[in-house]
Amino acid sequence: MKKSVSFIIAACCAFVACQSPTTDKDKDSSQFVTLTDAVPDAILEIRYYGTYNFVGTRIDGYLQPTALLTKRAADSLRAVSDDVMQQGYRLKIYDAYRPQVAVDHFVRWAADIADTLMRTYFYPDVDKSLLFEQDYIMAKSGHTRGSTVDLTLFDMTTEKELDMGGTFDWFGTESHPDFCGNPDTGTFTGDNSKSPTGRAITEEQFQNRMILRKAMLRHGFRPLDSEWWHFTLNNEPFPDTYFNFPVKQLE
């Protein structure tokens, strides 16, 4: 049985209020690198540093428009970059390491049901009161462990983002890798029955998602079943550590 919305909101807010103080380990960035130092061909569009995101404001903990990753994840992402470069693409990064204070910001925002500033752009089909219940917002994120990245592909021929048939951070089934197709086989089916409003993507858009997915899987990342843009390193070095140092250029 699903928990009531009020229970979930109360539990998430209690987590933020009662979490233990940050430890020295949480603040240790020594095993991280600035992503563009390791992957110089990557393009950055750090959505949580700006205001074009589902909250509509800069997110706590993002002090500079840069991206950080663990060294191990960055090395693997460099291999992905080299792979897609040979296919005529560059990686475009929306988010990588995300400090716990940023996740806490998301939780506070989701509990404020009246704040729907960016609903039209990111969650028009989802009632904000259901964001906790449907796991769009959670009190912990794999990004905070430092080896998860949100990204897309930039087409070097057209000099535009590759058309994925949907925007980063769209809250809905249309963001699922299996929307309108089978990501395990790369087969487009056109089945849009999971979309509450009958939205769909084309075969070309589905296959564009598969180009990114296949490259990431080839180089040691695993996908998320609810977001076509989200990947985590299989052998991530800190599977149980949730870091809380800010996003800024590392010295």
In this structure, the strands spanning 148-155 and 89-95 are: antiparallel
Asked if 2 contacts 41 with a C-beta cutoff of 8 angstroms, the reply is: no
Task: Give yes or no: 227 in active site.
Answer: yes
Separation between Cα atoms, residue 76 and residue 39, nearest integer Å: 10
> Confidence band (pLDDT; 50, 70, 90) for 156?
very high
How much of the chain exceeds pLDDT 70, in percent? 91
Q: Looking at the domain that runs over 9-14+31-172+202-233, which CATH code has it been given? A: 3.30.1380.10
User: Using N-to-C axis directions, what is the helix angle for 71-86 and 203-218, rounded to 10°?
Assistant: 130
- 35: part of which helix (H) or strand (E)? helix 35-38
Residues 20-54: tens digit of each pLDDT: 444 578 999 999 999 999 999 999 999 999 999 99
Residue 13 has pLDDT above 90, yes or no: no
Residues 85-142: tens digit of each pLDDT: 999 999 999 999 999 999 999 999 999 999 999 999 999 999 999 999 999 999 999 9
> With left for phi above 0 and alpha for psi between -120 and 50, is residue 198 left, alpha or beta?
left
Of residues 75, 234, 231, the one with CA closest to residue 152: 231
Of residues 210, 65, 223, 59, the one with CA closest to residue 149: 223
From residue 62, give the alpha-carbon distance in Å to each of 45, 65, 74, 97: 13, 7, 19, 10
Catalytic residue among 203, 227, 236, 251: 227
User: Using N-to-C axis directions, what is the helix angle for 100-111 and 5-18, rounded to 10°?
Assistant: 140
Q: What is the mean pLDDT of residues 227-235?
A: 98
